[in-house]
Amino acid sequence: MRYGGGFAVLITIAYRNIWRNMRRTIFCIAAAAVAVFFMVFMQAWMAGMMNNIEEVVQVFETGQVSVVSSRFESEKEYYPVQFPLEDDTGAPVPASRLESLILGIDGVRAVLPRVMAYATLQDSTVKHALLWGIRTEEELALHNFNLISRGSGLVEGRYPAPGARECAIGSRMAEKAGFKIGDRIPLKTVSAQFSDKMWNPVITGIFRFDYLKYDEDVIITDLEDLSRLLVLGEGVQQLFIYTEKNSQSRAVSGVLKTLLGEGAVVKDWTDNYFVSVMRQSMILYAVVYLIFLIVASFLIINTMVMIIHERIKEIGMMGSLGMTRREIVLVFFLESVFLSVLGSLAGCAAGGIATFVFSFFPLDFTALTGGGFKEFPMAGTLVVSFDPRILMQGFIFGVVTASLCALIPSLKSAFVEPVEALRR
């Protein structure tokens, strides 16, 4: 009798074979499942951390595109207000004119002028702070200051109103200095004319941001009030530009570089140092995941070698019935594919459930680090990212890697001579 089945018959044989030894099958499935589970969960963890950094950078550090003067850029660590954006003649460009010009570019959603300056606090245990002048209503309409609660970040009171000599401070600053709603903060700063300016705004709100740097060091004021105090006139220190989509930021920054000339420094948010480092590190993590999965796949390889050794007479029987070497290899390879698919499905299911559950339970990152990494652009709360694309990648990655690793022992079965196999 000669074997005359087709590919469907080979699939049936391979599928039935994997259930002939349940212990062996369970070990193989468990190995692939554990590897895929950790790959999915760690990818979700890293995606959450990456999203965390990208959102902090876009909300607080650069927007999606930032514009400052070249002289400001050279001394940006001091937040100098003496170097606003200028035209070709060196005269400050009115913020309103720049806003209307940039809003005319395709893909631009909003343009937000901001001012930031150092201040020295008097009669306080906190001696230094950053004055952050913003248009609060426009900022809140565009994004969230508290990235986890998805809100304004206020825990008490309200944000300062225009022209009212008011301010809001972070909860950490309030705790350190003993400030409360209704108190005044006597402070001193340096204007665009290099003159000392004294100011004592009243505290109208206390906020809590996930970004430790702002929650601890920043005093929020109205943009027009701070510009008036610093004698900026119609000039603007920084422009933060937001696009309709993240992918449009690079094109918008290119247009702005041509439009504003060499006197302005235009930066895309993807140029941020920490964003670049994290994106490059994702390649390293992918290599680590691959190695981990390959190591786990060795259990499948060993199992396939044992299968071939234990079923040596069966291989001889297959050959004597007329199965070609290619068909014998295919049967054993299909067995490994089935094991890989079942293991990857189990790993993806466990990983998906774990990431979905943990996505509702943010991890307090500042508690783990003791409040460190203040200068690192990262929210204090880390959320695991649940993404079906990660599950799909994990499944495909697991099936392909484990199946390819099992190809070598599958090929070994083709070199067993039927006569010799039947003699054993």
List, in sequence order, every residue forming a beta bridge with 136; answer none if it has no partner.
none
Residue with the bigger pLDDT between 253 and 313: it is: 253
User: Are 253 and 332 found together in one domain?
Assistant: no
Token pair recorded at residue 285? 């993590």
Which whole number is the average pLDDT over 315-320?
Answer: 70
Residue 379: predicted pLDDT: 67
- Kindly give the interhelix angle for 388-405 and 273-310, rounded to the nearest 10 degrees: 40
User: Are 129 and 255 found together in one domain?
Assistant: yes
- Least confident range from 29-38, 51-60, 210-219, 362-371: namely 362-371
Question: Does a structural domain hold residue 377?
Answer: yes
- Whole-model pTM: value is 0.75
Question: Does a structural domain hold residue 157?
Answer: yes
User: Are 227 and 350 found together in one domain?
Assistant: no
Task: Tell me which amino acid residue 292 is.
Answer: F
User: Are 76 and 50 found together in one domain?
Assistant: no
Question: Does a structural domain hold residue 234?
Answer: yes
Across 104-113, 203-212, 317-326, the highest mean pLDDT is recorded for 104-113
Q: Give how many domains the chain has, as a whole number.
A: 2
Residue 1 has pLDDT above 50, yes or no: no
The rounded Cα 28 to chain-centroid distance in angstroms is 33
User: Are 30 and 146 found together in one domain?
Assistant: no
pLDDT band (50, 70, 90) for residue 405: confident
Share of the chain above pLDDT 90, in %: 32
User: Are 112 and 96 found together in one domain?
Assistant: yes
- Kindly give the interhelix angle for 22-56 and 273-310, rounded to the nearest 10 degrees: 170
Question: Does a structural domain hold residue 2?
Answer: no
Reduce the DSSP state of residue 323 to 3 states and report it.
Answer: coil
Question: Does a structural domain hold residue 151?
Answer: yes
Which whole number is the average pLDDT over 214-218?
Answer: 88
Residue 369 has pLDDT above 60, yes or no: no
Task: Tell me which amino acid residue 338 is.
Answer: F
Cα distance between residue 418 and residue 168, in whole Å: 84
Token pair recorded at residue 383? 């959320």
User: Are 380 and 289 found together in one domain?
Assistant: yes
Residue 165: predicted pLDDT: 92
Residue 134: predicted pLDDT: 94
Q: Do the beta carbons of residue 47 and residue 387 sit within 8 Å?
A: yes
Of 291, 306, 351, give the one whose Cα is nearest residue 27: 306
Question: Does a structural domain hold residue 382?
Answer: yes
Q: Which structural domain range is residue 79 located in?
A: 64-269
- Kindly give the interhelix angle for 312-320 and 325-358, rounded to the nearest 10 degrees: 130
Q: What is the mean pLDDT of the chain?
A: 83
Question: Does a structural domain hold residue 1?
Answer: no
Cα distance between residue 105 and residue 85, in whole Å: 19
User: Are 68 and 206 found together in one domain?
Assistant: yes
- Least confident range from 49-53, 178-182, 191-195, 267-271: namely 49-53
Last residue of a domain, one of 240, 269, 298: 269
User: Are 68 and 28 found together in one domain?
Assistant: no
Cα distance between residue 328 and residue 321, in whole Å: 11
Last residue of a domain, one of 247, 269, 291: 269
Cα distance between residue 46 and residue 52, in whole Å: 10
Of 416, 411, 409, give the one whose Cα is nearest residue 299: 409
- Least confident range from 362-371, 391-400, 405-414: namely 362-371
Across 7-21, 141-155, 280-294, 333-347, the highest mean pLDDT is recorded for 333-347
Last residue of a domain, one of 211, 242, 269: 269
A 10 A CB-CB count for 294 gives 15
Task: Tell me which amino acid residue 283 is.
Answer: I
Question: Does a structural domain hold residue 193?
Answer: yes
Which whole number is the average pLDDT over 155-166?
Answer: 92
Which whole number is the average pLDDT over 202-226?
Answer: 90
Which whole number is the average pLDDT over 97-110?
Answer: 91
Which tens digit of pLDDT belongs to each residue from 76-88? 889 999 999 887 7
Cβ neighbours for 80, distance < 8 A, ≥ 6 positions apart: 71, 72
User: Are 139 and 198 found together in one domain?
Assistant: yes
Residue 2: predicted pLDDT: 47
Burial class (CB in 10 A: 0-12, 13-18, 19+), 395: buried
Cα distance between residue 184 and residue 33, in whole Å: 60
Residue with the bigger pLDDT between 351 and 291: it is: 351
User: Are 300 and 260 found together in one domain?
Assistant: no
Cα distance between residue 176 and residue 16, in whole Å: 69
User: Are 94 and 222 found together in one domain?
Assistant: yes
